[in-house]
Amino acid sequence: MSTLPKSAPVVVIGGGVMGASTAYHLALRGMRDVVLLESQPFFGQGATGKCAGGIRYQFSTAINIRLSLLSLPMLERFEEETGQPIDLRYPGYMLLATTEDNVATFRRNVALQHSLGVPTEWLDGDEVRRRVPELAADDVLAATYHIGDGLADPNGVVAGYISAGRRLGVRAFNDTPATGVEIENGRIVAVNTPHGRIACETVVNAAGPWAALIGDMAGVALPVVPVRRQMLTTTPIPGLRPDFPFVIDFARSLYFHREGEGLLTGMSNPNQAPGFDESVDDDWELTHLEAAVERLPLLAGAGLLSHWAGLYEVTPDAHPIIGRIPALDNFIVVAGYSGHGFMHGPIAGLLVAEMILDGRAHTLDISELGYERFAEGRLISEYNVI
Model confidence band, residue 386 (pLDDT cutoffs 50, 70, 90): confident
pLDDT tens digits, 48-101: 888 889 999 999 999 999 999 999 999 999 999 999 999 999 999 999 999 999
pLDDT tens-digit series, residues 146-204? 999 999 999 999 999 999 999 999 999 999 999 999 999 999 999 999 999 999 999 99
pLDDT value for 311: 96
**Greater pLDDT, 43 or 97:** 97
* Domains of the chain, each with CATH number or no CATH: 7-52+154-224+317-376 (3.50.50.60), 89-150+226-311 (3.30.9.10)
Residues with Cβ within 8 Å of 283's Cβ and at least 6 positions away in sequence, in order, are: none
pLDDT at 385: 86
pLDDT at 16: 96
**Average pLDDT of the segment spanning 339-361:** 97
Q: How confident is the model at residue 376 (pLDDT cuts 50, 70, 90)?
A: very high
Q: What is the mean pLDDT of the chain?
A: 96
Percent of the chain scoring above 90 in pLDDT: 92
Residue 96's pLDDT is 98
The per-residue pLDDT for range 108-118, each reduced to its tens digit, is 999 999 999 99
Whether the pLDDT of residue 1 is over 70: the answer is no
The per-residue pLDDT for 47 is: 84
Percent of the chain past pLDDT 70, that is, above it, reads: 100
